[in-house]
Amino acid sequence: MATIRIAAPDTASAGEVIELKALIQHPMETGYRSGPDGKRIERDIIEKFEVTYDGETVFEADLQPGIAANPIFTFYTRATASGPIVFKWTDQDGESWSETHDLTVE
Amino acid sequence: MKTPSRHTALARRSFLQLGAAGIAAAALPLQAAADAADADAAIREIFGDKPLNEGRVSVKLPPIAENGNSVAITVAAESLMSPDDYVRRIAIFSPRNPIAEVALFKLGPRAGKAEISTRIRMAGTQRIRAVAEMSDGTLWHGSASTVVTLAACLIG
């Protein structure tokens, strides 16, 4: 189970642009490194990060090995209605992790 | 104990830099490092053949990064982010990493602000490029360079 950290406001006023910050613990192994035995370490990366809010995808990222280990993203969205913001990561083998943050819009 | 004079300290530093450059030069041929042409090709593959306009996109990077494994980057595009004038996509490209494309972000009018921060790997000193595609289909380009003293891919 990967450790996930989300930083987002709990409440916002309607129309306000809020900052969302999401981090997941993951090696983002590039496939270009060699281990102590001299063998190439297999590529193991998260390929997709998707954020849905108020029934719509509000942010999407396609990741390459050029993204550092433990990928962190800071981005913005406009607060529209109270509801869950769902952060979802999917790796190259289709395994996924997600975390939900509840936002109350006043 | 005697503190090294300024001259020898400088000499040591340049020696260390030479050493790091030597390691980088020795290790690079093992990998297919991208070059400027690859970054251009990656941009064309994602965004098509439309002209790249300079401006409206800013890339923030530290001037010097000690460790290329994790370099903080912020990419921002100037846009009203209104329902009919917004940023559709933003992508980051490296002319020197093994793969030119670093990440592709899809935004929409609901983002409110077209700004993304993350951490990237840098296989050496280079000028990182970012391209934003607006809702009217135009492409905008910005870049920033960082001097990397210890490149990613070579070490842990």
pLDDT tens per residue across all 156 residues of chain B: 444 444 554 455 554 454 444 444 444 434 456 677 888 899 999 999 999 999 999 999 999 999 999 999 999 999 999 999 999 999 999 999 999 999 999 999 999 999 999 999 999 999 999 999 999 999 999 999 999 988 776 554
- Asked if A86 and A93 touch (Cβ cutoff 8 Å), the reply is no
Global confidence as pTM: 0.83
Chain B residues 27-66 with a CB less than 8 Å from chain A: 31
Structure ipTM? 0.94
Chain A residues 3-62 with a CB less than 8 Å from chain B: 17-18, 30, 32-33, 53, 56-62
Q: Are residues A67 and B102, on separate chains, in Cβ contact within 8 Å? A: yes
Query: What is the C-alpha separation between A45 and A49, in angstroms, rounded?
Result: 11
Q: Are residues A61 and B104, on separate chains, in Cβ contact within 8 Å? A: yes
Q: And the tokens for B116?
A: 């993304």
Q: Does domain B33-148 have CATH number 1.10.3470.10?
A: no
Domain ranges of chain A: 4-32+39-105
- Asked if A63 and A29 touch (Cβ cutoff 8 Å), the reply is no
Torsion angle in degrees (nearest 10) through CA of A3, A52, A92, B123: -80
CA A68 to chain centre: 13
Q: And the tokens for B27?
A: 């290790």
- The alpha carbon of residue B15 is apart from the nearest alpha carbon of chain A, in Å, by 26
Domain ranges of chain B: 1-30, 33-148
Q: Which residues contact A40 (CB under 8 A, 6 or more apart)?
A: A31, A32, A33, A34
Superfamily for domain range A4-32+39-105: Immunoglobulins (2.60.40.10)
